[in-house]
Amino acid sequence: MKPVESRPTGFWRRISERFNSQRNANGNGAPADDGQRRVNRIAVALVAGTFLWSLSHVLLRQRIDETAHPVLSLAHWQLEPGIRTGMETMARRYNAMRRSRGLPEVIFKQYPISEKAYGQWVTTQLIGGTAPDLIEMGIGLPAATWVNYRGRYFVPLTQEIMRPNPYNAGTPLENVPWKETFLDGLGNPISELQEYYDIGLSAFGQRIFFNQALLKKLTAKLASEGKIPAALDEPPGDLRAFLKLCDQIMELKDERGRNYMSLAGSKYQMGFMVKQIIDPLTMELLDKVDLNHSADASSEETFFAARMGRLKFSDPQVLRIAAIWKEIAKRFQPGWNGLDRNDAVQLFVRQQCLFFATGSWDASTLKVQAESSETPFPVGIAKFPVISPNDPEWGEFGWGPTYEKPATAFPFGIPSQSNNRELALDFLRFITTRENNQILNDEIEWIPVIKGAEPKPLLRAFQPTFEGMYRGWNLELGSRTKTFTDQIEPLMEIGEDDKGRSFTILDWAEHMDTEWVDAAARDFEKRDEDERDGLQTKNALAAVLRAKMLLAAPENRDFHTRHYFGYASVPLEANKNIALWQAWLRETAPAKKGAQP
């Protein structure tokens, strides 16, 4: 290729000429004529114009909106229509209140983001500095990441929740600290940060949903065949009777000649059945597992109890519990463990399945789906069945219902980058008065979280049971134990392995006694490392809180003193945990080869 002489006519012209000369030399085309140049210029102008318009739109958008009214934006992952309209109702009521006080109305913007993309979306917004004023927290990212985000990007609300909610003036909750107006007192602060960062708006619970019409119809048929005494309006509360009814239903055929399924299931549903029915049966194991006598079986204690041999999965008692577990799994439809939550929902809505275990968050959606299906049907909600003390085989576990801890959910936090922090906090205060929280939850059909607010009749079935059994083991020490149990439990529940050979409860117990303990050891190692890594931060935070206490103005000193003394035990507790764990590790270490017993 022959180089073209450069002419002092500017950089771009030189480049253009060189390309054109090359195209000519290669025979790939001719230099652009005037017409082409004009088209090119129009194209460039179009691209540049579009870019400038977009840029100005993005830069000016916020400013234009905020000139007349403040803008309050909130993001959540609840795509169900009830939640959006519920929040809109709250926005309308909030604006009505502001109008009555002569304040400018607020423009509300909701960003409902899909659950699957929520974590990434929040991360992008927080890092990019474009986060909305209120963000729902707790999904799409590991729990530890949410803790980091809270510390880094969100406003601590500890001081605010210790003061009364001004919107409760003139109500029985007047002068009650905002925190104490919640059913669970907002639980504990984030342990790593010792601050409260989010305000929950609803409470959740889990129950068995059932197709009332289908239950009546099928049990009437069973009654006419003399298999049960009478048609039922709700499922039996006794586990054995419930499972027997499931078996009888599975023998009945629908109009198309297909067998009915009793429990619509997937891994998601099985989780509820295990949590609500199986886990509480382990309460007696607490004697062996609760090493520090706190009346609670932590995952570390479960690991050490198994390592010490105090807890053996092959113990007859555990095997009997696993047998009940397997009995429940048999009542799910074939192939349930390969399906998703939505597949199970479809089976229920199509009226192929009678029962369906899920949480209160699904209640309104299921009701709407049931009412709008081809043959509408009423949805009933019942408690999980329990074992009767008179049960011929399982009577030893007949201790009554499962204890349910009330806990706030649907939590919102305020990003520190928000320009409307006060407004966001004010809105949170407004929607957590007894009246407004009830209206909000009535609309979204969830359970209110403020003391004295009543759930809708449909949701009364979700009122937590405060007296009952609770679990005596905790098998999830970390991600490795979770993966292991997620892999091994289906084999036990289905009863076969990858080679098609039988996989019994004893096989499960054997794997748990060896491989689960190994997985737990690795999870424990990680937890121990994390605790040690976090010590420095905890000590530093304690020092900061102490400094705040010492330097606080007299009117705030009381708060900071309580805060410091509340936190001072955290690093000490961490040190104590590490020391205790190390002692347990030493005590439970396998004997070295050749060592004297």
Partner 1 sequence: MKGQNISLRQARYHLSIYLFLLPCALFIGMFAYYPAVNGIYHSFFQWNGGDVDRFHGAQSYSKLFLADTEFWLAFKNALILGIANIFKMAPSIVTAVCLHRVRNARLQFVYRVAFVVPMVIPILVTTYLWKAIYDPSNGALNTILQSTGLMKALVWISSSAAHLSENFDPLGFFSWLGALFRAGENPAWLGTPSLAMLALILRDFPWVGTFGVLVYLAVLQSIPRDIYEAAEVDGAGWLSKFRYIELPMILRQVRIMMILVIMGSINDAGLVMAMFGIEGGPGGVVQVPALFMYREAFQNQNLGYACAIGVVMFAVILICTKLNDWLVKPGD
DSSP state of 543: H
> Tell me, what DSSP letter sits at residue 417?
T
Of 250, 252, 491, 568, which lies in the binding site for partner 1, with binding defined by CB under 8 A? 491
Structure tokens at 242: 């419930």
- For partner 1, give the closer residue by CB, 496 or 573: 496
* Per CB under 8 A, 347 contacts partner 1: yes
Per-residue contact track with partner 1, 177 to 216, x per CB under 8 A?
----------------------------------------
Q: What is the largest CA-CA distance in the chain?
A: 104
Q: How far is the CB of 313 from partner 1 (least distance, A)?
A: 17
| Of 144, 544, 550, 551, the one binding partner 1 by CB under 8 A | 144
The answer to whether 525 and 307 have CB atoms below 8 angstroms apart is no
Question: Does residue 479 bind partner 1 (CB under 8 A)?
Answer: yes
Cα distance between residue 284 and residue 40, in whole Å: 80
Query: Does residue 14 belong to the site contacting partner 1 (CB under 8 A)?
Result: yes
- Stretch in the footprint of partner 1 (CB under 8 A) among 70-78, 209-217, 498-506, 585-593: 498-506
> At closest approach, how far in Å is the CB of 152 from partner 1?
11
Residue pair 134/73 in contact (Cβ under 8 Å)? The answer is yes
Q: How far is the CB of 480 from partner 1 (least distance, A)?
A: 6
Task: Give phi and psi for 313, each to the nearest 5.
Answer: -70, -20
Question: Using the rule CB under 8 A, is 37 a contact of partner 1?
Answer: no
Q: CA angle, 20 as apex, 15 and 26 as ends, to 5°?
A: 125
Residue from 94, 118, 204, 336 touching partner 1 (CB under 8 A): that is: 336
Q: Residue 467, interface with partner 1 (CB under 8 A)?
A: no
> 515: closest CA among 475, 484, 482, 479?
484
Helices (H) and strands (E) in the chain, counts: 20, 9
Q: Is 343 one of the binding residues for partner 1 (CB under 8 A)?
A: yes
Instruction: Fill in the DSSP letter of residue 205.
Output: -
Q: Which residue type occupies 188?
A: N
Closer of 81 and 142 to partner 1 (Cβ): 142
The count of residues interacting with partner 1 (CB under 8 A) is: 42
Minimum CB distance to partner 1 smaller for 234 or for 343: 343
Map residue 321 onto helix, strand or coil.
Answer: helix
- The HSE-up count of residue 3 (CA atoms within 13 Å, CB side) is 3
**Least Å from the CB of residue 475 to partner 1:** 14
Query: Residue 565: which of 550, 547, 545 has the closest Cα?
Result: 545
Instruction: For residue 334, state whether it binds partner 1 (rule: CB under 8 A).
Output: yes
| Alpha helices for 69-114 (secondary structure H) | 81-100
Identify which of residues 5 and 33 has a Cβ nearer to partner 1 in the complex.
5
Which residues 6+ apart lie within 8 Å of 32 measured at CB?
Answer: 20, 40
Contact pattern for partner 1 over residues 258 through 277, marking x by CB under 8 A: ---x-----x----------
Of 270, 242, 248, nearest in space to 260 by CA? 248
Q: What's the closest the beta carbon of residue 375 comes to partner 1, in angstroms?
A: 17
Least Cβ distance, residue 514 to partner 1 (angstroms): 13
At its nearest, how many Å lie between partner 1 and the CB of residue 336?
6
DSSP state of 111: E
| Chain contacts with partner 1 (rule: CB under 8 A) | 3, 11, 14-15, 18, 142, 144, 148, 261, 267, 333-340, 343, 346-347, 352, 478-480, 482-483, 486-488, 490-491, 494, 496-501, 526, 529, 533
